[in-house]
Structure 1
Amino acid sequence: MCRVVDLQQAVLAKNDATADALRAELAARGTTVVNLLSSPGSGKTALLEGELLLARGRGVRVAALTADLATENDAVRLARSGVPVKQVLTDGLCHLEAGMLGRHLDGWLPEDTRLLFVENVGNLVCPASYDLGESLRVVLASVTEGEDKPLKYPTAFGLAHVVVVTKTDIAGAVEFDEAAFRANVAQVNPGVEVLLTSARRGDGVGALLDRATAVAGGGAVHAPVMAGRQSLHRHEHRHDHGAHTDAAGSGAMAQSCS
């Protein structure tokens, strides 16, 4: 008897279980994870540096873990905030996974950390499918990337709890159409909050910290419609061995015979 197994679905299912366990473990110690996703060059490191500085000034116990393919440049930059920072080099892997995050937190994350900001690898494809045990998923896009970014990357934007627009200080120069961007976000993720920021001018810096602190205190989190659909799809796929894929799936299949 032979059985077809979708390897991508199996990998994601294992990651989801690990993420749930990590989320519960961190919640028990009072730590909330914020997962930041964006394309390379969106300005998320600059914004995160501002948020960390503000958190330290407010006395909020925060830490940051930043992932990249190579170099420790982002960690060096974020460490200027004076909060605990760790660099993870993925050695070519285009995303973080829950198990990887858990291993890097073990023995490093201070026990009294209230908020852990995770700066994911600069990529809007692979990281979108991997739950890291976060309670708040934030997707960022700069005004230079185009108003249709949410339509081009519907999984990333469709699973976001908050969407952040960066580099608004140059919005006029690049003729960024805010209304069009908001409409495209609403198309893939109805009801999600969109924050406008400029790390250079300081506009909107602190809004992300406010949202994260509220979530850590038990505040409500936006429920993306796509999250429910993706969960249902993965559940159904375990009982249906057809060759379809999910929104991020590779479609890789393996055949097991006995």
Structure 2
Amino acid sequence: MDDIKLIEVKEEIFSDNKQMADGLRQRLARDKTYLLNIMASPGAGKTSLILKTVDLLKDDFRIGVIEADIDSMVDSKKVAAHGVNAVQIRTGGFCHLDAAMVTKGLNAMDLGGLDLIIIENVGNLVCPAEFDTGAIKNAMILSVPEGDDKPLKYPLMFTVSQALVVNKIDYLTTEDFDIDALRTRALSLNP
């Protein structure tokens, strides 16, 4: 029994991903390209925010978008229709993107002179927070109908995100949502 060897796969996977993500950040820094990872639940408004951002910035910045979905191209087609370089990553059941997947997406994209690349990660508040994509910054979207208690339920997502967008604020009058409680909870995890 003492001869049994234990291999911590999760630790090895995260270590390899971290190295790849760090290398990706160095590559993007050399190219002066900003990579932003957007994470949220399904239906929170990731694609809508990306499309609005593209429309506001595309005349002044060269933008690319990496779309992640388990098995569709719906969002990448919407993005491409707005006149920017879009790549679809079908994760085939994976509930997140990691640095290797993002690297494949970047390699499929015409990077020449891009200023900003936006990743739309898979819709989920758990898995995407666990994997470093190589992005310079992570942003998350929380829609009002999801509730103000999400920092209590999904603390890692709030810990790894440098920006929080509260979306669907028109529901504030109809939902039991305490924006001050959300702010306090989020800032307690990530001041």
Give the structure-2-normalised TM-score.
0.94
DSSP-derived class of the 1:21 partner: helix
Q: Give the conservation status (yes or no) of the 8 Å contact 2:65–2:117.
A: yes
Q: Give the conservation status (yes or no) of the 8 Å contact 2:88–2:105.
A: no
Q: Give the conservation status (yes or no) of the 8 Å contact 2:66–2:88.
A: yes
After TM superposition, give the deviation of residue 7 of structure 1 in Å: 0.9
Q: Percent identity?
A: 36
Corresponding residue for 2:46? 44
| Aligned equivalents of 1:37, 1:107: Cα separation in 2 | 22
| Aligned equivalents of 1:97, 1:110: Cα separation in 2 | 19
Choose which of 55, 71, 76 in structure 2 pairs with 1:53: 55
| Aligned equivalents of 1:109, 1:65: Cα separation in 2 | 12
Corresponding residue for 2:15? 13
After TM superposition, give the deviation of residue 90 of structure 1 in Å: 0.7
DSSP-derived class of the 1:37 partner: strand
| Aligned equivalents of 1:9, 1:110: Cα separation in 2 | 32
1:1-258 equivalences under 5 Å are: 2-57=4-59, 59-190=60-191
1:120-159, Cα deviation, whole Å (9 max, x unpaired): 0001111111111111100111001011101100011111
Query: Which of the pair has more CA radius of gyration?
Result: 1
After TM superposition, give the deviation of residue 2 of structure 1 in Å: 4.6
Q: Which runs of 4+ in 1 moved over 3 A?
A: none
Q: Give the conservation status (yes or no) of the 8 Å contact 2:89–2:101.
A: no
Q: Give the conservation status (yes or no) of the 8 Å contact 1:141–1:165.
A: yes
DSSP-derived class of the 1:16 partner: helix
| Aligned equivalents of 1:124, 1:135: Cα separation in 2 | 19
How many residues are treated as equivalent by the alignment?
A: 189
DSSP-derived class of the 1:4 partner: coil
Give the AA of the match of 1:118. I
Structure 1 residues not aligned, in runs of 5+ = 191-258
Q: Give the conservation status (yes or no) of the 8 Å contact 1:151–1:188.
A: no
Give the AA of the match of 1:182. R
| Aligned equivalents of 2:108, 2:185: Cα separation in 1 | 42
| Aligned equivalents of 1:74, 1:177: Cα separation in 2 | 31
Give the AA of the match of 1:76. K
Corresponding residue for 1:214? none
| Aligned equivalents of 2:107, 2:72: Cα separation in 1 | 22
DSSP-derived class of the 2:72 partner: coil
Structure 2 residues not aligned, in runs of 5+ = none
Corresponding residue for 1:232? none
| Aligned equivalents of 2:189, 2:155: Cα separation in 1 | 6
Q: Give the conservation status (yes or no) of the 8 Å contact 2:69–2:121.
A: yes
DSSP-derived class of the 2:58 partner: helix
Give the structure-1-normalised TM-score.
0.70
